[in-house]
């Protein structure tokens, strides 16, 4: 494997009057560390600041004699420039190692040592081999009122270096940082950490802020991201994290729903009439529940009351479907059985003509349950208007009564109401081909029986669907744990797999 000797550990000057080793032993002087380089570095040649990775004050390493098997624990300073990083060992050949430690976050760069050392002279100068499976996150101080707080993978405060707050976080675990802005508003920023990666973020207002300070980091793969702030200092973009690819059994995932701590999803039309229970973090299918008495004509969203799971079989792309229905399944059956029967709510929309016209507002992919009623939110074809309808949730033949309409930033493909009822959140995407962006639309303190639902809804963009996949489902367990699913996309020979991901809306959703 290619090795990189970190420049910030560079070779040193030594005194001519160094201490002599003990009799029968050699003096080992550590000059630096060779860290594995798993990816190409991304240093910026025009950067204004060179990042120096801080190290722990001391390292503890075990040296195991290959001749006797005896272990020699040693401790040495990380200040290689003073010549204090030295210790004595008997002559021989050694394997050395250090404990990986149990820290999930750190203010210094964690290093785990492992390698081989031959001691065959009275004085040995060497660089020890090490690895680090941590990522560095940095946040420029502009517009941030106080030290950000780490939420995941462990709680703690970020450290400060110059104009940057920073944190080392263990790779392969989701990282979430809570930021408080200069106006007192707070939000959380999530990221999937990757070893040897340095991600630097700059939250800037649309105008008036200086250009970001660029960092040079020849040791880690560096990337800077500027995030535009709205007038209220919330970000225009949110970053999905805990991103997992779903299995082929959910290529066309179209709805998500929490039932307690258990997560469920469905595929849309032309798929089996099956509800899948997912592992909330990995996205793996844990159980599959067959709906025995109803086909999947075009299932599009899930909603739940205390007693029932509702499946919206109301996909209607051509606008002329007349067999619209919602399936109602007892939650007690869903949680304990692998085959269930559904009660059926057959419905038509108020004023629906049944004419073949895709511009009619009778295609629906978003539904919530609230106060004993079902609420349906349609999506237009040529406009982004969404009409709201209310429906009796009891089996039989029903008419969905129209309440009104509102403008969305794109096509609404899923909805969920927070458990406390204070937030209605939609998932959707633009219709601009492969360059379309996914978004969440947040209504605070909604009144579902009036239009507008609430004043000043907030839109947060989640990035290109080429990264998120085609976002279709959303489920709110808590403000901190909002799950999103997206179905597979195949364009021009490129396939984006179906995905399960997460956003943290703490601070954005009302308490």
Q: What is the pLDDT of residues 195-238, one digit of tens each?
A: 889 999 999 999 999 999 888 888 888 999 999 999 999 999 99
Instruction: Give the pLDDT band (50/70/90) at residue 359.
Output: low
CA 508 to chain centre: 16
Per-residue pLDDT, averaged over 389-412, amounts to 94
Is 18 a residue whose pLDDT tops 50?
A: no
pLDDT in tens, 145-176: 989 999 999 999 999 999 999 999 999 899 99
Structural domains in the chain? 3-131 (2.60.40), 134-229 (2.60.40), 241-503 (2.115.10.20)
At 59-83, the pLDDT tens digits run: 999 999 999 999 999 999 998 877 7
Residue 449 has pLDDT above 70, yes or no: yes
Q: Could you give the CA distance from residue 402 to residue 377 in angstroms, rounded to a whole number?
A: 10
Partner residues linked to 415 by β-bridges: 426
Instruction: Report the C-alpha gap between 249 and 87 in whole angstroms.
Output: 58
- 330-356: pLDDT as tens digits: 999 999 999 999 999 999 998 777 666
pLDDT reported for residue 442:
96
Contact 175, 152 (CB under 8 A): yes
φ, ψ for residue 9 (rounded to 5)?
-110, 25
* Cα–Cα distance, 170 to 190 (Å, whole number): 14
pLDDT of residue 360: 65
Identify the bridge partners of residue 43 per DSSP, sorted by sequence position: none
Please count the CA atoms within 13 angstroms of the CA of 8 that sit on its side-chain side: 15
408, 441 contact by CB (below 8 A): yes
pLDDT in tens, 97-140: 999 889 999 999 999 999 999 999 999 999 999 989 999 999 99
Tokens 């390493």 found at: 61
Q: Note the helical H segments in 143-207.
A: none
For residue 503 the two structure tokens come to 């956003």
pLDDT tens figures, 404-447? 888 899 999 999 999 999 999 999 999 877 688 999 999 998 88
* Averaged confidence pLDDT in the chain: 89
- Which of 468, 471, 458 has its CA nearest to residue 509? 458
Report d(CA 462, CA 136) in Å as an integer. 22
Report the share of the chain in percent with pLDDT over 70.
90
Where residue 102 falls (left for φ over 0; alpha for ψ -120 to 50; beta otherwise) is: alpha
Band (pLDDT 50/70/90 cuts) for residue 455 is low
């Amino acid at each position: 494997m290619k090795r990189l000797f970190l420049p910030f550990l560079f070779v040193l000057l030594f005194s001519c009057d160094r201490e002599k080793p003990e009799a029968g032993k050699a003096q080992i002087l550590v000059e630096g560390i060779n860290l594995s380089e798993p990816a190409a570095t991304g240093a910026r040649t025009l950067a204004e600041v060179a990042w120096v990775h801080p190290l722990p004050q001391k390292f503890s390493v075990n040296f195991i004699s290959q001749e006797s098997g005896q272990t020699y624990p040693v401790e040495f300073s990380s200040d290689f420039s003073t010549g204090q990083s030295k210790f004595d060992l008997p002559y021989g050949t050694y394997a050395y190692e250090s404990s990986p430690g149990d820290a999930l976050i750190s203010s210094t760069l964690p290093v785990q040592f492992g390698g081989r050392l031959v001691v065959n002279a009275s004085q040995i100068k060497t660089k020890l081999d090490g690895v680090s499976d941590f990522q560095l996150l940095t946040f420029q101080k502009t517009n941030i009122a106080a030290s950000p707080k780490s939420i995941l993978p462990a709680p703690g405060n970020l450290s400060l270096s110059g104009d940057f707050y920073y944190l080392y976080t263990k790779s392969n675990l989701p990282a979430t940082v809570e930021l408080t802005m200069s106006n007192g508003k707070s939000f959380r920023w999530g990221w999937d950490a990757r070893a040897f990666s340095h991600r630097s973020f700059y939250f800037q207002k649309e105008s008036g802020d200086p250009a970001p300070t660029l960092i040079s980091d020849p040791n880690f793969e560096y990337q800077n991201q500027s995030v535009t702030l709205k007038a209220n200092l919330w970000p225009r973009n949110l970053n999905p994290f805990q991103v997992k690819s779903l299995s082929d059994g959910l290529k066309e995932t179209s709805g998500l729903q929490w039932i307690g701590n258990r997560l469920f999803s469905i595929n849309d039309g032309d798929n089996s009439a099956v509800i899948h229970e997912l592992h909330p973090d990995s996205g793996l299918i844990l159980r599959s529940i067959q709906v025995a008495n109803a086909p999947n004509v075009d299932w599009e969203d899930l909603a739940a009351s205390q007693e029932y799971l509702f499946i919206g079989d109301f996909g209607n792309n051509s606008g002329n479907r007349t067999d619209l229905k919602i399936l109602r399944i007892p939650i007690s059956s869903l949680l304990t059985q692998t085959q269930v029967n559904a009660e059926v709510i057959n419905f038509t929309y108020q004023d629906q003509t049944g004419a073949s016209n895709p511009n009619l507002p009778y295609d629906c992919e978003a539904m919530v349950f609230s106060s004993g009623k079902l609420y349906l939110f349609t999506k237009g074809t040529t406009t982004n208007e969404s009409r709201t309808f209310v429906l009796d949730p009891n089996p039989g033949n029903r008419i969905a009564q129209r309440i009104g309409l509102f403008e969305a930033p794109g096509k609404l493909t899923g909805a969920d109401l927070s458990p406390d009822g204070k937030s209605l959140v939609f998932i959707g995407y633009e219709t601009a081909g492969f360059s379309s962006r996914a978004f969440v639309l947040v209504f605070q303190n909604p009144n579902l029986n009036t239009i507008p639902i609430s004043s000043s809804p907030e839109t947060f963009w989640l990035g290109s669907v080429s990264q998120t996949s085609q976002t279709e489902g959303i489920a709110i367990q808590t403000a901190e744990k909002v799950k999103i699913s997206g179905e597979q996309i195949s364009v021009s020979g490129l396939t984006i797999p179906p995905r399960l991901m997460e956003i943290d809306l703490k601070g954005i959703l009302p308490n």
